[in-house]
Structure 1
Amino acid sequence: MAKTVISQKLPPDIDPTKAPLAYGDRALPRLNRELNDKELITRQRALMTLCDYLHDPEHIAEALRVGVAESLKKLLSDKDPTVRHKTTEVLYVIATHNKGRDAFLDYGIIVPLSKLFDDSVDLARKNAHMAMEMMSEIPYGAAGVVEAQLVPKLVGKLRDELNEIKELILDTLHFCLRVETMHALVAGAMEVFTELLGHNQAIIRAKAARDIMDLSVPLDGKNKACEVKALPPLVGLLKDGDTYVRSMAAGAIATITITTQGKYLALEAGAIPHLVELVEDKNSEVRLNSLKALTTLSEAPEGRKELLNHVDLIKKRMEDESEAVVKAATIAVRVITWKP
């Protein structure tokens, strides 16, 4: 199931005909009435038209003014699968607009939308997650998702959802973890993220490593990463063929190894040789995160001793084209060569 590609096609028995669009400022009020019509085909056609009409951002504010948000909220629980899938598609379009995201909170759409995470229709679930991810990209939207107690549910969905939906969930959690981490820790997110480090898709490995980095910002997260043995697979990803994976793995290691326990677990996993290699990576973000990780590891006597053999290589990065890398290299050299 996890490898299935979600089809965008409507079921063969569905009439794809759109509702005729009324002229001018009568268009949206009429569509809103049709969204609440008792006839299924009328609701379906109205949704088809609305999907196209709202791609023009200027129409979204007017749609919200005439009550479309409330109508869509009701349609999330419609018995017809096509209605549910097209409703989530419209809500995703609305969520791309600032006023649309405000409406999600004003009309209490987040919780009803989250119920479609369990929908039998793949496309309805995907659209629901797309809308939720878009909502979470702004701080107050992510706070709304957290306050709705949805983080544990999102973590649970990572275990058995389709891969393209897993990506969306990892992105939503990434933004939610900037707001609050305790719910995710209690829900076992660190364990799930660590499992996903071995995923066969590079994008999921990278986003899992990124979310481990987010979750490891507080001390409890760093300790949990050590407890669930996240460091060995993260060290393994430093050799990954994908640039984004290497960057996020190095970033996660840099965050976890701020603690003494994290330092020694990373040293035991053989992190230093791989991080030293990445100091000369073609990608500046990989170089930057690797230098940050080497700096924290050099704070341990054993790490400093090993890194003294590589100071000249790190010094070369003090002339890097990236200002951030130059700064990180300067700090790394200073810490490695420090003498009591």
Structure 2
Amino acid sequence: MMSANKNSYLQLQTCVNPTLVNKAVRRAMRKTQFDPHDETPAAQRMTSMQPSLYGPCTDITRAALGFERLGLRHINRDINSEDNFVKLRAIHSLMDQVKMSENAMFLVSLNVTNKLIDLLPDKDPVVREKVCLILTMLGTYYQARARIMAKPIVIDHLMYLFMRDRKEIRYAAANCLQTLARSEAETIIRNDKLVENLIKMIKHEHEGIVLIHLETLAHLAEWNPEKPLKANAFKVMLKLILYAEDRITQAAMKCLTHLCKHPVGQKLADKYDLTRFLIPYIDSDNLHIIISTVGLMAYTTITTRAKWRVKEFIYYLSRRLIYLCIVHDIPVLQLQAMQVLINMCDCPDVREFMKVNLEKYIEVGIKIRTPEQWDGATEPRKYGLDVSHDYRTRYIDGVETVKNDTGDYVDSINVPNYLQRVRDTKEHLLKAMNLLPYGSRK
């Protein structure tokens, strides 16, 4: 019988289609209640919207096993059942239970991750997809992630799935790998074939899966850009920047930013004249594209060749960057734009042009936020006033928190210190514009 409080059936095992239980109970109680879960198609969706993978005799919206520690032990035991129906029922219930942190930690202590990894190459496509989804949820916990990465074969299994399986499973496997790559890039990048296969799939994959692969590649390139550079990732990212979808363009620029931190990436940026290639994207209507473009320019203007190349279009580029700093008070954008201008000031002709024409606009026009007006995220929206100061301990999905470049706490940020860094960068820019050549100093 269905328990509405626990959203699950009270019995531990049943050989009957679970949806028939509710029908029998309501008929005995002479109730004419309409339940969309018992109708076809499931969840009252159109037939064309039905997924190609579904669990037979399983209500996708409700768990099928008991709860508490006894029920969790039963789930952990039934995962390895020889009966495919029992295995499917256990996996569906397991996916519901791992959403609760207490149950997830108890299941991790029962070594459920090892059993799930062994199920990745299962013959049933429903099992493969659901296992990828469960591992994605468990990958957000440190304890579970440590146990998953203790078996490096999981990377090979996921790599096989996102290369050879059907599109639903490819998406789930790519999402699982991207979740693990956020914190375990050091371990994942040791796989010899992973980076090459990621780049290979990026060229011929669906748009949503390409976006996930780009995020994974960005995490790996941030840790070690050498392998992506050897796999010809630079040319692939240049082509993806021209893609019509803004999210893919932004993700490709993020990957190129990490690649250009390496000396080889900077030489390739000079070879393909990347700074000139990025100028049209500064006028984009999407603010995220502008932030990504300026962040990439901060690394493409480091070399001497790039600085002298900038002199040919300094009139437009310098004015546009200062205009962005004045119109927008986003600290991330201001810091990156001023860093590009500082790099350009190493060229004497550029420095003289900026001092004569733009110095007063930098001193008076560029305004910097206060700590109460900013939440420490790269997202252009202003969360600070809405959520007070909860951003220091709160995770907002889809919003990337800014990171320190160096130090003991690279992944964290202190809002007042970051804003002070923006002020120091503004002062550094003014000093760089007023530098004199060595021979003219007194």
Q: With the length of structure 2 as denominator, give the TM-score of the two structures.
A: 0.70
Name 2:354's counterpart in structure 1. 307
Name 1:3's counterpart in structure 2. none
Q: Is 2:308 aligned against 1:211?
A: no
Quick one: distance in 2 between partners of 1:13 and 1:111?
A: 26
Superimposed CA distance per residue, residues 239-273 of structure 1 (whole angstroms, 9 cap, x where no aligned partner): 11111111111111111211112223444465334
Structure 1's 30 and 328: CA in aligned 2 closer, same or farther, altered over 3 A? Answer: same
Name 2:331's counterpart in structure 1. 284
Written as runs of structure 1 = structure 2, the 5 A alignment for 1:1-340 is: 9=51, 11=53, 14-17=56-59, 20-108=64-152, 109-138=154-183, 141-149=184-192, 150-268=194-312, 271-282=317-328, 283-308=330-355, 309-316=357-364, 319-321=367-369, 322-340=419-437
Partner amino acid, structure 1, of 2:58: P
Note the residue ranges of structure 1 that are not aligned, 5 or more in a row. Answer: 1-6
Note the residue ranges of structure 2 that are not aligned, 5 or more in a row. Answer: 1-48, 370-418, 438-442
Please identify which structure carries the higher helix content.
1
CA shift for structure 1 position 62: 2.1
Tell me whether 243-252 or 150-159 shows the greater mean CA deviation.
150-159
Partner amino acid, structure 2, of 1:326: R
CA shift for structure 1 position 216: 0.9
Quick one: distance in 2 between partners of 1:281 and 1:8?
A: 47
Quick one: distance in 1 between partners of 2:353 and 2:208?
A: 41
Contact 2:63/2:96 (8 A) holds in 1: no
Partner amino acid, structure 2, of 1:68: V
Quick one: distance in 1 between partners of 2:55 and 2:366?
A: 64
Quick one: distance in 1 between partners of 2:327 and 2:156?
A: 44
Structure 1's 40 and 314: CA in aligned 2 closer, same or farther, altered over 3 A? Answer: same
Structure 1's 339 and 146: CA in aligned 2 closer, same or farther, altered over 3 A? Answer: same
Structure 1's 56 and 19: CA in aligned 2 closer, same or farther, altered over 3 A? Answer: closer
Quick one: distance in 1 between partners of 2:176 and 2:289?
A: 25
Contact 2:72/2:107 (8 A) holds in 1: yes
Contact 1:250/1:290 (8 A) holds in 2: yes
Quick one: distance in 2 between partners of 1:155 and 1:136?
A: 15
Quick one: distance in 2 between partners of 1:45 and 1:246?
A: 48
Partner amino acid, structure 1, of 2:281: L
Quick one: distance in 2 between partners of 1:91 and 1:8?
A: 24
Contact 2:240/2:249 (8 A) holds in 1: yes
Structure 1's 45 and 221: CA in aligned 2 closer, same or farther, altered over 3 A? Answer: same
What secondary structure sits across from 2:223 in the alignment?
Answer: coil
Structure with max Cα Rg: 2
Equivalent pairs, count: 332
CA shift for structure 1 position 9: 3.7
Quick one: distance in 1 between partners of 2:140 and 2:150?
A: 16
Quick one: distance in 2 between partners of 1:269 and 1:16?
A: 63
CA shift for structure 1 position 231: 2.4
Contact 2:178/2:215 (8 A) holds in 1: yes
Tell me whether 125-134 or 313-322 shows the greater mean CA deviation.
313-322
Higher relative contact order, structure no. (Cα contacts within 8 Å, ≥ 6 residues apart): 1
Q: CA RMSD in A?
A: 2.2
What secondary structure sits across from 2:87 in the alignment?
Answer: helix
CA shift for structure 1 position 147: 0.8
CA shift for structure 1 position 229: 3.6
Partner amino acid, structure 2, of 1:132: L
Contact 2:114/2:148 (8 A) holds in 1: no
Contact 1:116/1:124 (8 A) holds in 2: yes
Contact 1:254/1:293 (8 A) holds in 2: yes
Quick one: distance in 2 between partners of 1:268 and 1:111?
A: 49
CA shift for structure 1 position 158: 1.9
Structure 1's 267 and 128: CA in aligned 2 closer, same or farther, altered over 3 A? Answer: farther
Quick one: distance in 2 between partners of 1:180 and 1:167?
A: 20
What secondary structure sits across from 1:147 in the alignment?
Answer: coil
